[in-house]
Amino acid sequence: MIYDICIIGSGAGGSPVAYELANAGYKVVVLEKGNYYTEEDFSKDEVAVCRRELYTPPLHEQKHIINEYSASGKYTRYDGEESGWNFWNGSMVGGSSNLMSGYFHRMKPNDFELRSVYGEIKGANVVDWPISYEELEPYYEKVERIIGVSGKVKEHTYQEPRSTPDFPYPALKTSKVTKWFDAACEELDIEFFETPRAILSQNALNRDACYYSNFCGSYGCSSGAKGSARAALLQKCDAKIITDAFVYRLEAKEGRVTKAYYYTKNRIKHSINAKIFVLAAQAIETSRLLLNSSSKEFPHGLANSNKEVGKNLIFSAGGAGSGRFIFEKLTPEAQKELMEPGVFFNRSLQNEYDYDDGCRKYKGGTIDFLFEHQNVISRATQEIYNEEGNLIWGEELQKKIHKRLTSSRVLTFEIFNDWLPTDNCNVNVDANVKDIYGVPVGVINVNSHPHDLAVGEHLAQSAVEILEQMGAVEIEYSISSSPPPNLVAGGCRFGDDPRSSVLDKNCKAHELDNLYVTDASFMPTGGSVPYTWTIYANAFRVADVIKKEIESSFKDTN
Amino acid sequence: MNTLHRRKFLQLGLLSSAIFVMQGCELKGITTMRSTIELLQRDLFEKSHTLNIKTTHYFYNSVLGHSRISQEEKKFLKNGVSWLNEAAQEQYKLLYVKLPRHHREHVLQTISQSQWGEEWLSKMLGYILEATLSDPIYLGNTNENGWKWLEFQGGVPHPKEPYL
Ligand SMILES: Cc1cc2nc3c(=O)[nH]c(=O)nc-3n(C[C@H](O)[C@H](O)[C@H](O)COP(=O)(O)OP(=O)(O)OC[C@H]3O[C@@H](n4cnc5c(N)ncnc54)[C@H](O)[C@@H]3O)c2cc1C
Ligand code: SF4
């Protein structure tokens, strides 16, 4: 059988294409290496989900090699299995979008022209995108409707242009502590807004509303409210989904991909024939698969004659911080407000999406505020050291845990700024290190540009001021050059010049007629926001391109 | 403890094993891993015991028996029990379970100053807290007593089966 479309990877990048093409009547198959979990299977089991990594492969079976570069250009090599450094996010139908928290921000118009607007930064491979915000805007809007985004638009300096006045779903319920936050921002004259979330605040789209389960990020959603690729798209179309299908090689002949080969867990080999192939295995694995698909015709791997595959890998730069609110400083009423479970915080800043240091304009970023994750084992375990850094146990530890968890609560913030693309941040494969299937593992070369840290540091100051104004104690933050494994993009840049990019502006490989890449690999720069809204929007855009392409080829053959 | 060396010890079987504490070629005592762990867990976090949390059962079933905890980690956890007894021997010439409370506390203080001791104790504490605060399906957190102690409402839905 020959499918019209074969999609590799069932997450946020692959599923919009499956949804659009299957609903348009085409024969679509999705190859997914993980299992199929649905609403009925998910639970709030902290041990399984957060401490035993239920949704990701064991590192002794599948791992990465990580080379961490220092500023001097030297690197330290880490074996993922030995070091426990884990870059897997969610191997399951719907991918890591099942586990996301759904903090959703669009990129801004300037993000599409980073180089032109903010100029060159030495040591960084910054380029403009080959498409504009205006071209993507209709698809951002489509994501709001189809995935389901809740929120309330509030005008602020960096509010991006919108084709509709507001979100299709009203804002989610928030904690009363947001009143303290809003008052602090007003006092400090800092612009803020309610964080849009890819979560349904009411029953809609044949999915149930959020029931404020208190355990959102890292957990699957049992109501279907979270806008995962599975709940919002794959369960709403009849694309054929093959699970336990680890695609290890794409075969290409005469400029066209002809077959995807996959292994099951029992290492049985299978192959799928299709007219069009769409690769969306998440940024690192997408590059790895292309590099592992070399042949006589493509000796450096598929789509890689210019040796650009894997280059310019990016993550979300920034860091995180927190402040603690303690009962001693609060009225009984405020204490009650503080401890209310379930409801969200949902406050964000983009007041310095760009900023001027007196010499030039710099790109800034986004800060999301959220309560500390409610995982109780993890919160208790954090308390096993005293202020001097010594391990404690017995009565002292018991008292400390009880006091901290029952009479205080932590508000955290996460900073997102651009991770500048550099020469030493990329994906490769290691022919000598193989996974359980016998396939060369991905090598992740990690390097962060010093400018990223400076921006993060600059942004953190507003968050600290707000927490101080709110009366928090133990305020701290850390700006880090460590890559967040769940916020990854790049490796197969799109661009107009086939010499310096892997994909054309429609995310089709320059050197293959029928291979598209629709996860975040296409992004030359990532904006100063988490990526998923943009991944979804772009994948819907490419789905339209593929639909047109396939319609015209059908017309030609009929 | 700086002078504490990781002496050779023999271990029979895996889970309910006897631990032969040796100094050089001399057998200094025999104890079971389970009895040492039971007492150690009470010394580290008595609260779990008063809440009727089955920390030792959890440790055997959901830690040593877990498919996603590496063999290396399990070996370290088990070796630690022997090293603890060796430290007790070295300081007080008795097995850990034979020591009075204040001597046991002193042994814990001493080993917590060594690299292995700190790492081992922090892992043991982590697993006690897991037992106390995990979903009751893991048979540690009896009657949700751990959650009630911290005024914590567990997440819903609960798991239908433990992930082992
Ligand atoms: C805990 C967590 C919280 C997050 N929170 C947010 C947030 O608040 N906001 C936000 O914007 N983003 C968030 N994200 C990130 C978001 O989930 C990702 O950006 C998004 O899912 C990426 O889409 P993708 O298609 O590239 O990858 P995925 O959604 O991960 O899908 C890739 C799929 O490909 C499969 N696959 C990989 N290799 C192969 C192969 N060789 N053969 C077959 N199948 C393969 C994988 O198993 C996976 O199912 C979060 C992620 C996590 C894990
Ligand atoms: S019910 Fe709401 S809070 Fe819970 S996982 Fe779903 S979207 Fe997140």
Q: Answer yes or no: is the ipTM higher than 0.90.
A: yes
Fold assignment, A2-556: FAD/NAD(P)-binding domain (3.50.50)
pLDDT at B10 over 50: no
Please tell me the residue having the least CA distance from ligand 2 atom 1: A210
For chain A, the domains span 2-556
Ligand sitting nearest the alpha carbon of A283:
1
Are the beta carbons of A44 and B155 separated by less than 8 Å? yes
- The tens digit of pLDDT for each residue in A202-254 reads 999 999 999 999 999 999 999 999 999 999 999 999 999 999 999 999 999 99
pLDDT at B22 over 90: no
| Percent of chain B topping pLDDT 70 | 82
Minimum CA–CA partner of A61 in chain B: B68
Q: What mean pLDDT value characterizes chain A? A: 97
Query: How sure is the predictor about B25, in pLDDT bands with cuts at 50, 70 and 90?
Result: low
> Which chain B residues have a beta carbon less than 8 Å from that of A215?
155
Q: Both tokens of residue B103?
A: 């001597």
Angle, vertex CA A246, rays to CA A240 and CA A251, nearest 5: 90
For residue A552, the model assigns a pLDDT of 85
Average the pLDDT over A149-178 and give the result: 97
- The tens digit of pLDDT for each residue in A5-61 reads 999 999 999 999 999 999 999 999 999 999 999 999 999 999 999 999 999 999 999
How far, in Å, CA of B58 to CA of B162, rounded?
12
pLDDT at B4 over 50: no
> Which chain A residues have a beta carbon less than 8 Å from that of B105?
394
pLDDT at B1 over 80: no
pLDDT at A370 over 80: yes
Q: Give chain B's length.
A: 164
pLDDT at A546 over 80: yes
pLDDT at A547 over 80: yes
- The tens digit of pLDDT for each residue in A105-154 reads 999 999 999 999 999 999 999 999 999 999 999 999 999 999 999 999 99
pLDDT at B29 over 90: no
Backbone phi, psi, residue A50, to 5°: -105, -15
Please tell me the residue having the least CA distance from ligand 2 atom 7: A226
Average the pLDDT over B143-162 and give the result: 96
Query: How sure is the predictor about B14, in pLDDT bands with cuts at 50, 70 and 90?
Result: very low
- The tens digit of pLDDT for each residue in B116-139 reads 999 999 999 999 999 999 999 999
Are the beta carbons of B150 and A384 separated by less than 8 Å? no
The C-alpha of B31 sits at a distance from chain A's nearest C-alpha, in angstroms, of 23
Q: State the pairing for strand pair A28-31/A240-242.
A: parallel
Helix or strand holding residue A17 (H, E):
helix A15-23
Tell me the pTM. 0.96
Are the beta carbons of A43 and B160 separated by less than 8 Å? yes
Chain B interface, best mutation among A35, A38, A43, A383, by max B CB count within 10 A: A43
Question: CA–CA distance from A412 to each of A177, A187, A216, A321, A477 (Å)?
Answer: 13, 20, 15, 6, 9
Q: Both tokens of residue A156?
A: 């602020």
Q: What count of other Cβ atoms lies within 10 Å of the Cβ of residue A350? A: 24
pLDDT at B144 over 90: yes
Picking from B122, B159, B160, the nearest residue to A391 by CB comes out as B122
Q: What mean pLDDT value characterizes chain B? A: 88
Distance from the Cα of residue A359 to its chain's centroid: 33
Distance from the Cα of residue B75 to its chain's centroid: 12
Angle, vertex CA A272, rays to CA A267 and CA A278, nearest 5: 110
Average the pLDDT over A358-373 and give the result: 95
Ligand 1 atom nearest to A283, measured from its CA: 26
Ligand sitting nearest the alpha carbon of A284:
1
- Mutating to test ligand 1, I would choose from A197, A250, A282, A435 the residue with most ligand atoms within 8 A of its C-beta, which is A282
Burial class (CB in 10 A: 0-12, 13-18, 19+), A305: middle
Report how many Cβ contacts below 8 Å link chain A to chain B: 105
Are the beta carbons of A43 and B158 separated by less than 8 Å? yes
| Residue A195 Cβ contacting ligand 1 at under 6 Å | no
Query: How sure is the predictor about A357, in pLDDT bands with cuts at 50, 70 and 90?
Result: confident
Query: How sure is the predictor about A338, in pLDDT bands with cuts at 50, 70 and 90?
Result: very high
pLDDT at B23 over 70: no
Burial class (CB in 10 A: 0-12, 13-18, 19+), A109: middle
Q: How far is ligand 1, taken at its centre, from the CA of residue A487, in Å?
A: 8
For residue B7, the model assigns a pLDDT of 35
For residue A203, the model assigns a pLDDT of 98
Residue window 86-145, chain B: list those with CB within 8 Å of chain A.
105, 108, 112, 118, 121-122, 125-126, 129-130, 132-135, 137-138
Residues with Cβ within 8 Å of A323's Cβ and at least 6 positions away in sequence, in order, are: A410, A411, A467, A468, A470, A472, A473, A474, A475, A476
Query: How sure is the predictor about B28, in pLDDT bands with cuts at 50, 70 and 90?
Result: low
Average the pLDDT over A148-164 and give the result: 97
| Residue A99 Cβ contacting ligand 1 at under 6 Å | yes
The C-alpha of B27 sits at a distance from chain A's nearest C-alpha, in angstroms, of 31
If you ran DSSP here, which 8-state letter would residue A218 be given? T
| Residue A209 Cβ contacting ligand 2 at under 6 Å | no
The C-alpha of B118 sits at a distance from chain A's nearest C-alpha, in angstroms, of 7
pLDDT at A487 over 50: yes
> Which chain A residues have a beta carbon less than 8 Å from that of B42?
none
| Residue A532 Cβ contacting ligand 1 at under 6 Å | yes
- The tens digit of pLDDT for each residue in B92-118 reads 999 999 999 999 999 999 999 999 999
Q: Looking at A254-391, which runs of residues are DSSP E strands? A: 256-263, 269-279, 311-326, 347-349, 354-356, 361-363, 365-371
pLDDT at B8 over 60: no
User: CB of B148 within 8 Å of any CB in chain A?
Assistant: no
| Residue A281 Cβ contacting ligand 1 at under 6 Å | yes
Which amino acid is it at B75?
Answer: K
For residue A359, the model assigns a pLDDT of 85
Q: What count of other Cβ atoms lies within 10 Å of the Cβ of residue A355? A: 14
Minimum CA–CA partner of A384 in chain B: B122
Average the pLDDT over A548-552 and give the result: 91
Average the pLDDT over A477-491 and give the result: 96
For residue A31, the model assigns a pLDDT of 98
Q: Are A241 and A22 in contact (CB under 8 A)?
A: no
The C-alpha of A406 sits at a distance from chain B's nearest C-alpha, in angstroms, of 6
Q: Are A422 and A124 in contact (CB under 8 A)?
A: yes
Q: Are A528 and A363 in contact (CB under 8 A)?
A: yes
How far, in Å, CA of A533 to CA of A531, rounded?
6
- SS3 call for B8: coil
For residue A553, the model assigns a pLDDT of 80
Q: Are A45 and B163 in contact (CB under 8 A)?
A: yes
pLDDT at A557 over 90: no
Q: Give chain A's length.
A: 558
Among A110, A151, A71, CA closest to A348? A151
Distance from the Cα of residue B30 to its chain's centroid: 17
Burial class (CB in 10 A: 0-12, 13-18, 19+), A154: exposed
Are the beta carbons of A394 and B149 separated by less than 8 Å? no
| Residue A5 Cβ contacting ligand 1 at under 6 Å | no
For residue B24, the model assigns a pLDDT of 64
The C-alpha of A304 sits at a distance from chain B's nearest C-alpha, in angstroms, of 37
Are the beta carbons of B133 and A376 separated by less than 8 Å? yes
